[in-house]
Structure 1
Amino acid sequence: MALKSLVLFSLMVLVLLVLAGARPSWPKFENDHMDPGNGPFSPNYCNKEMENRNISGKLFNTFVHQPVEAVQAVCLEPNITCKNGQNNCHKSRSPMSITECIREKGPSDYNTINKRRHIVIACEGNPLLPVHYDGSEEVSSEAR
């Protein structure tokens, strides 16, 4: 009886590990790119956020300043081709407030640039969730 329980427990753990590995990386996307706070942000914003989120050292990063639900809803927009050629990207219908962080000199020396742009994100899973920030596009002059 104990052997049967051990085998069932081992199988259950294996299934859970497989399922966990197949889940989209929404928590990573949320950590790396989501900040629903209101901007514009000070010149030190990127230095502070990149350090606090343990992602300093990246050459470039973007934070999106919209509610989580609004960013997740972008996954419901029509599919477009990502920069890497995959067809799982989606472009926001409306411009969103973003902050681009561009590394200048050292690993914690970022230039902070506040913008309003359409975001492009890759989405995966069921339900679809953002897993990669692919870039942004300028707001066309007639939409301003």
Structure 2
Amino acid sequence: MALKCLVLFSLLVVLVLVGAQPPAAQNFHQRHMDTNPRDLGHNYCNQMMRNRNLLNRNFNTFVHETFAVVQAVCREPRIRCRNGENNCHRSRQNMMITDCNLTGLHPNPTYNTNRHQASIIIACVGNPPVPVHFDGSG
């Protein structure tokens, strides 16, 4: 019973935190966060891209860390983003991520799954800052 209450409380906290974020942060969470990935092997990206309604994207990265760990990257020194903005931050530590690359086109898009560890680069806005864009890894 206690474990069930703890799980429900944790879910409520996550929902409140996600609901309290600006829309761009919610979008980041939807597109890039998967804190508890199921082991779907080479089918992971096909499932996730479909489940998250991201089939219009040629490439996407999912981060397998807690949102708090990813949000902490926003406190790292600022670096220039690929679009020229100066609100990106690189993680000091490598994180477990999965890159999904489009390999087959419509009507049934298929994606290559590449799970590995790398630093992440994210754009952050707000006070306190929250991630709003995944800029790259490496």
> The TM-score by the shorter chain falls in which range?
0.7 to 0.9
Change (3 A) 1:78 1:39: farther
What is the CA–CA distance in structure 2 between the aligned matches of 1:57 and 1:29, rounded to whole Å?
A: 16
In the TM superposition, what whole-angstrom CA distance separates every residue of 1:8-52 from its partner, at most 9, and x where no partner exists? Answer: xxxxxxxxxxxxxxx451100000000012576510000100110
For the pair 1:48 / 2:47, whether they are aligned, the reply is yes
2:97 is equivalent to residue 103 of structure 1: no
Number of the residue aligned with 1:35: 34
Task: Name 1:5's counterpart in structure 2.
Answer: none
> Highest CA radius of gyration, 1 or 2?
1
Tell me the TM-score normalised to structure 1 length. 0.76
What per-residue deviation string (whole Å, max 9, x for no partner) do you get for residues 66-90 of structure 1? 0110000000000000011110000
**Does the 8 Å CA contact 1:60/1:100 hold for their aligned counterparts?**
yes
- Quick check: 1:24–1:125 contact (8 Å CA) kept in 2? no
Task: Tell me the TM-score normalized by structure 2.
Answer: 0.79
Any stretches of 5+ residues in structure 1 without a counterpart? 1-22, 138-144
- After the TM superposition, list the runs of 4 or more consecutive aligned residues in structure 1 that deviate by more than 2 angstroms: 38-41
Asked whether the 8 Å contact 1:97–1:115 carries over to 2, the reply is yes
Question: SS where residue 50 of structure 1 aligns?
Answer: helix
Gaps of at least 5 residues in structure 2 are: 1-21
Question: Which amino acid letter does the alignment assign opposite residue 131 of structure 2?
Answer: P
Report percent identity of matched pairs: 49
How far 1:105 sits from its partner (Å)? 1.3
In the TM superposition, what are the counterparts of 1:56-135 in structure 2 within 5 Å?
56-107=55-106, 108-135=109-136
